[in-house]
Structures are given as structure tokens and as C-alpha cells.
Structure 1
């Protein structure tokens, strides 16, 4: 049966593929998540306490420099290194980790297309200290509605849009815009998930337009969906790893019938399933994020569906292990059970958007022929 040493204690070591600067950032992210984010699972922080945490993250991790290209004094981190950092930050509440890194997917796309100019009109750290942010934006079918994940209050409202020509546009939304046709779906920490009608985006001010494909011939709209998908997938994968680690510790320290839970065959089998799911998902994510040239869209979509499914499955297995009757109130990872499904749902929305964008691209190519 399992012993307490069956699961590696503490965070995984940094992969050798990272540069020294990237490895230092990865290790700093692990420490910050352990010291500042993981304790938040025990209870929501006050607004003042969270603002201080954001400020400390901005200063200690320098996430803005992480994304900036080396020519501008940044690390120029790639998808592989970024996925590791995001996984580490998922040690605490998922919505808080996303709030810290909300702007990253947009910056990765803008960096690829050498279109960071409008963004750098503000200091790069402003996008990571709560001053401003670029909301995540996922189009619905035929782009008639938009699923948007952005700051609840305070930050200057920037976001990315996909127009009728499948161009990617960085826009600034009118401040304090109130829409009668937009619907708030969920509030997660300092973020709000809402559904916006695309005809209301006409009032937004365009700051940058990206029309050309990247060096791998990936259209910009598709590229943006992939970056968001990989980012959310890394968050859920990291949450799975941290949940499994807690489950192993829990099973080793709790007893049933005068022996540790981990020594019971059914519990050991459940732990095995959780560990295989978490580790397999991590390897799948790393294979996709490290692929050169970029992995085919079909594989990316398969990853997104896999992560969405396995993250929910691991949560269910954890509840059954630690509670036996459903919701486990009082255990630190229980805070994730209220948010994981929203991230999984958004991954499926991205999968649908990628399918729609691929169909639109094929239709346009047939017309051109």
C-alpha cells in the first residue's frame, strides 16, 4: 500500500530546459504561492489584504518582465516555462491566481505579433498590480455573444475582440459601461464572468489590430484562443497536482479501522487514479506547450477537453476520499470546488470557439479558391 512518501513532498524541481532567470522565477512563484496564496484557501481575504498580496506579487515576481521580450529587458518566457509558473501559482484559489496573471494571454499574443506598443503606453507592472488589466474574451458561436472574464471593479477595462474578418483587436471599453443586454454569470474573487453581446462592442475604442498569421501560420484569433486555453489549462492542472498532494497527506495522517486511510485498498486505488490523472494531464500540457512548431489545433482542443474533464474528476475523487458524502467544508482545497467547474466550462467554450474559427477559415479558403 501507499506510504506517506509515495507522493513527492513539496513542489517539483524546476525542469532543466528553463534558463537560469526562468528557473529563478519558477522557484519564486512556488514560494510565493506556498506562503501567500495557499493560506487563502482557509478563507477569503479582506480587500485590503488582497490588494497587499497583489502588490507583493507584482514586486516580488515581476510578472511583467516575465512576458516582455528580451529586447525590451524581459525574460521572453515561452509557453512551456509559462505553464510551469502558472501551475505553481495554482496552489491557492484559482480565481486569485488568474487575477494575478489575467493579462498574460493577451500579452503573449501581442508579443508574438510585435504589437506591444499600445500596451506599453502604461508601465508593464500596471497590468499586474491591479491598476489595469486585459480581460479574457472568448467568442460564442458565430461571434454573436462574448464570454468575458475580467476585473470586477477598479481596473481600466481593456480586452481583446475578434471582428467579422477574424482579425484580433485590442480595445478599450468605455469606463463604467452599463449594458442592459450583458449578463453577469459568476463573480469569482475580484473577477466577474459575464456574457456580452457583440453588437455592444461597437462603442469600444480600438488600440491595435492584428490581421496576419504568426510564423507558424496560425491566425491571430485562433492564436489568442489557444493562449487563453493553455493558460486556464495550466491553472487547472496545477490545482489538480496540489489537490492530489493534499489527498496523499490526508490519507497518510487520517485513520480508519485503526490504520491509515492510505493502507486501505480502495483508498490506495483512488489515490492512484488521482495521481495518474494529475501527472498524465501535466505531461500532456507540457508536450503541447513545448511543441516546436506549435502543436496542431486538433491536439490543443483535445488537451482542453481532457483538462476540463480530468479536473472535475479529480475534484470528485477528492470529495469522495475526504468527505464521503459530497461537499467537504473546512478542508483547504474545498474552496476550489466552487470555482473549478467555471474554469472547466470556459475551456469547453474555447474548444467550441476554436472549432468555429477553423470552420470559418476553411470556408474562406474555399471562397478564395
Structure 2
């Protein structure tokens, strides 16, 4: 049986995060975008919630709540402002690469000293190893060179470059050049140039790298669920209020079907994210499930957010309303963590290897 009850502890945390998301992130998103940064007061308020350590084991001073709890919280933050969420969570998914490949030692040395600093930032970068690309990274002689055309951050203290074989840690030899991003503007945006940047630590373990990428995909997928949800709910409320031909436009069959499809898409994305997170928490294989969840969340967000804007008509494109922002955020988020194509490749290869029946869910085993 499916068991989706978050439990009392997580419910209390979600309530607090919902208030933070709706009272602060949702109210100030245009200011965040205009400044391409988060005010210090908001950074401190987020830091006081203690969410950065929620996935760390209790032995390292964390809450030990796991991936499912993190995804649930990220959905709520994504509902408010995913760009601001990336800026607030300065360590972010870099934690996964360091924890999966460097172990507790790397977490203790690199992560823990920075948790108490709201302004600390570690940028996680995916290196697909494709040298044919015009803008690609090259690792040779224990150094990295190359250009990353866009990152959703204006600066970083450290870089963690994740590839199929492992991860590299870099602390110098790189520069950020500010850009005007089209999405996730609250997080800032920059072009990253590495010039013979020395690798101060290197961890090689393909299985660990795959798990780190999978958790990164879940991180982004949860934000996509949040963006999709707020877009679907906002457009539905408008469709229930606007009257045409004597009744709310939501009561006209064509639009009613579309609204239903949008909410179904949000729910299906959430279920796949929760399922993959439950697999991770239960110690089961979850790499393929995470890739599938990322693809579903990305493609559903790219369906929901433009249609939410269309329900509003021409005014949906105006910055007086958040609909155009939801569409930009969804498109930009889907480029992260290796993008949709990488996730499809992982999920497709897994399906081709299966002989016999396909297991549908790990949710029943999560409690």
C-alpha cells in the first residue's frame, strides 16, 4: 500500500516552511529578481530554520530526516520562489557530491564549517565529458580549464565538478562574470571561466557519482513540482473568478479539462519524486527512479506553466503577475543537474536492462 503521511515531525516543519515561503518568498520575489540577490535579513531568517542540515546524519549534527523530507521542503520553497531557494541554500546539492564521494570526512571538513554562514556558497557543476561542445571543460594534469556559459549563482567559495566517474574540488583559479539570466534571477547568474584551476581533492567512484547526480536531480525535480503547483493553483483560482458567457471560464469544458490535466501533472510529478526519495532513504537503488522523476517533473512543468499563463491571456505576460516568471523558472530549472536529455538517457538505459516485470513503487517499503 502507498503511505504518503509525512508524520507529525515533518508536518510541523512543513508548516513553518510554508509560512516562510508564502509570507517572505512569494511576497518579495520581484525585489529578489531586480536585485539578483537575497537581503541579509532573509538569509538570516532562512538560516535560523536549520534546513541546511536536515539531511545530515545525527552523528554529524544534522537532523537525519533524509531525502523524502528534503524533497517535501523543497517543493514548498519552490512554490514561493525557486531562484531564491537556490540562493538561500548556499551549500545546496553540492552536499550530495561531497557526501556520496568524500564521505563523512569530506562533510566534516568542507560542509560543517560553512553551515553557520548564511553567505557561504559551494557551486555544483556537471561535466558531461563531451569535448565536442564549444563550451566544455577539460581535466588534465590534475587541473581544470574551460568555460561554463551559465550558472545560477553570482559567486562561490568552492566549486565541486561532478562527472560520470567522480568529483573534483576546486578553491581557486576560476572567475565569475555576471550575466542577466532569464530565469532563477534571484539566485544571480554568471559565466564561469576556469584557467588551469588546481584540483585540491579528487574522488573517483562511478556508483557514488551516479547517486550524487540522482540526488541533485531530485533536488531540482522537487523545486519543479513546487513551481508547477503554484502555477496550476494560481491559474485555477483565476479561472474560477473570471466569468464569460454567464459562468466562470473554469466551467467551460475545454478549460476544465486543461485545468484537470495540469493538476494531474503536478500530482504525478510529486509521486515520482517521493517514490525515488523513499528508495534513497530505504537504501534501495534509486538512480533510475530519480532520473525518471526529473524527466516527469521537467516535462510536466513545461506543460503546466505555459498553460497557466495562457489561461490568464495576454495579461499573463505582464510582470504585474507571476505567471511569466513561473514559465521562465520551469524552463531554466529543467537545464540543471545534467538536463532532461541526461536524465532520459539514464532512465532509458535502465528500462532496456530490465527483464521481466517493472517494480512500480518503493513507497510501501519506506516506513
Using the size of structure 1 for normalisation, the TM-score is 0.76
Corresponding residue to 1:191 among 170, 184, 188: 188
Moved more, 45-54 or 98-107: 45-54
In structure 1, how many angstroms separate the alpha carbons of the residues matched to 2:326 and 2:29? 8
- Contact 2:54/2:66 (8 A) holds in 1: no
Q: CA RMSD in A?
A: 3.3
Q: Does 1:149 align with 2:148?
A: no
Q: Does 1:286 align with 2:274?
A: yes
Corresponding residue to 1:223 among 211, 221, 226: 211
Determine the structure 2 residue equivalent to 1:58: 47
How many residue pairs get aligned? The number is: 325
Q: Does 1:253 align with 2:246?
A: no
- Contact 1:67/1:104 (8 A) holds in 2: no
- Contact 1:106/1:160 (8 A) holds in 2: yes
Using the size of structure 2 for normalisation, the TM-score is 0.77
Moved more, 32-41 or 97-106: 97-106
Q: What does 1:1-369 align with in structure 2 at a 5 Å threshold?
A: 16-18=5-7, 20=9, 22-41=10-29, 43-44=31-32, 47=35, 50-59=39-48, 61-112=49-100, 113-114=103-104, 115-120=106-111, 122-126=113-117, 129-130=118-119, 132-142=120-130, 145=136, 147=148, 149-153=151-155, 155-156=156-157, 158-162=158-162, 166-174=165-173, 177=175, 186=181, 188-192=185-189, 194=191, 196=193, 200=194, 202-206=196-200, 208-212=201-205, 219-291=207-279, 292-323=282-313, 327-346=317-336, 349=339, 351-352=341-342, 355=345
Deviation at 1:168, TM superposition (A): 1.5
Could you say what secondary structure the match of 1:104 adopts? coil
Deviation at 1:133, TM superposition (A): 0.9
In structure 1, how many angstroms separate the alpha carbons of the residues matched to 2:324 and 2:111? 39
In structure 1, how many angstroms separate the alpha carbons of the residues matched to 2:4 and 2:161? 35
Q: C-alpha offsets along residues 283-324 of structure 1, whole Å, 9 cap, x if unaligned?
A: 111111111334453333232222221111101211221116
- Contact 2:176/2:192 (8 A) holds in 1: no
Deviation at 1:49, TM superposition (A): 6.5
Structure 1: runs of 5+ lacking an equivalent? 1-13, 214-218, 360-369
- Contact 2:128/2:338 (8 A) holds in 1: no
In structure 2, how many angstroms separate the alpha carbons of the residues matched to 1:109 and 1:326? 39
In structure 1, how many angstroms separate the alpha carbons of the residues matched to 2:212 and 2:52? 18
In structure 2, how many angstroms separate the alpha carbons of the residues matched to 1:66 and 1:296? 20
- Contact 2:91/2:123 (8 A) holds in 1: yes
Alpha-carbon spacing, 1:42–1:189, altered in 2? closer, same or farther (3 Å): closer
Deviation at 1:19, TM superposition (A): 6.3
Deviation at 1:328, TM superposition (A): 4.6
Q: C-alpha offsets along residues 197-229 of structure 1, whole Å, 9 cap, x if unaligned?
A: xxx3642352x433346xxxxx22222211221
Could you say what secondary structure the match of 1:160 adopts? strand
Deviation at 1:347, TM superposition (A): 5.0
Moved more, 114-123 or 186-195: 186-195
In structure 1, how many angstroms separate the alpha carbons of the residues matched to 2:112 and 2:305? 42
- Contact 2:84/2:186 (8 A) holds in 1: yes
Alpha-carbon spacing, 1:201–1:107, altered in 2? closer, same or farther (3 Å): farther
- Contact 2:173/2:195 (8 A) holds in 1: no
Alpha-carbon spacing, 1:109–1:28, altered in 2? closer, same or farther (3 Å): farther
Q: C-alpha offsets along residues 138-176 of structure 1, whole Å, 9 cap, x if unaligned?
A: 1134367255635314x52x121247x92222321347x
